[in-house]
Structure 1
Amino acid sequence: MIDDELRPRARPIPDRCADGPGTIVVGIDGSDSSLHAAAYAAGLARRQGSRLVVVYVRKLASPALPLAGAVVAVIDAQDQIERELRTAVEQRVSLLALDVELVVRTGEPYAELIEVAEQVHADAVIVGRSTKLLHRVMGSLAVKLVRAGRWPVTVVP
């Protein structure tokens, strides 16, 4: 028989694992790989009890687009993506009982993701793999984030 003083005492279980990421930032642009990244990030945030910050960066309309109609089409497409993301966050993610925030910015994705990650004190950044051939030569968003070396970066295919 073990004396009560020698018996190991149960420690209270913390609400959140202290060794996992407290805040996860995920970049979304509406592509399949970015939606896979969002699903992965949501699962990770749920398992770790982390805050999830979803970042959608609307790109500035390029002056190289020769027709006003093309600019309007780009803006309409971005509006549609933003509406779908808001709906997904409100409906799907709320079912998972996550602490989630959608941040919409306009600008260059790399700069905006870095700024948001710094503002929210991110512990991890998750993005989807680029499917553009030019990024293999010039460097993708994921490669730039890894080179920044500020957070662990996970690239989801």
Structure 2
Amino acid sequence: MTEQHRFERGTDGPKVILVGVDGSDSSFRAAAYAAGLARRQHALLAVVYIQPVMAAGAAFGVPAAQTTDEIAEGLIAEIRDATERVKGIFDVRWEFHTFRGDPYNGLVTAADDLKADAVVVGASEQAGHRIVGSVAIRLVKAGRWPVTVVP
């Protein structure tokens, strides 16, 4: 009788640490923090960019999908450059993923699909989020993973 592999969260330390990046300073600080965690835990760092879904009207005359693809490509280039600068001193296994949607639902989908053991995000830099609630607060309230919010 063969034993089936079952996903088991949090038993031997995190295996996958997910970090959301969007090009903001706080998201890059979160990525640096998550990279340190991944290195110390020998975990995979899943770097995730959520491509916003534009309303149908906004897409007319504006190549919105092309713009978000360019942002994703720019983020990959920045991450690769940072990885090359510290190669041999600070090695970490990482993958880059893009998902489409709003930031909260996109990160939830990414964390579920990638079987993340922990989620790291940057604190919102938008003043209105203090009133309405940020993606970070919503992730914490979801209570599905340990969430670290990096200022």
How far, CA to CA, are the matches of 1:86 and 1:78 in structure 2? 12
Matches within 5 A, 1:18-97: 19-63=12-56, 65=58, 68=60, 71-72=62-63, 75=65, 77-93=67-83, 95=87, 96-97=90-91
Q: Does the Cα contact within 8 Å between 2:99 and 2:110 map onto a contact in 1?
A: no
Amino acid at match of 1:57: I
- 2:106 aligns to what? 112
How far, CA to CA, are the matches of 1:77 and 1:134 in structure 2? 25
How far, CA to CA, are the matches of 2:136 and 2:25 in structure 1? 15
Percent sequence identity over aligned pairs: 46
Matches within 5 A, 1:1-20: 19-20=12-13
Q: Which protein is bigger by CA-based radius of gyration?
A: 1
Q: Does the Cα contact within 8 Å between 2:51 and 2:100 map onto a contact in 1?
A: yes
Give 1:108 shift. Answer: 1.1
How far, CA to CA, are the matches of 1:30 and 1:47 in structure 2? 24
How far, CA to CA, are the matches of 1:150 and 1:102 in structure 2? 22
How far, CA to CA, are the matches of 2:55 and 2:35 in structure 1? 32
Question: TM-score, normalising length from structure 1?
Answer: 0.77
Q: Helix, strand or coil: the match of 1:79?
A: helix
- 2:136 aligns to what? 142
Question: TM-score, normalising length from structure 2?
Answer: 0.79
In angstroms, what is the RMSD of aligned CA positions?
Answer: 2.1
Q: Deviations over 1:48-105 (max 9, x none)?
A: 111110110111124565x955x33x55553332122211333433623322110011
Amino acid at match of 2:145: W
- 2:117 aligns to what? 123
Amino acid at match of 1:79: D
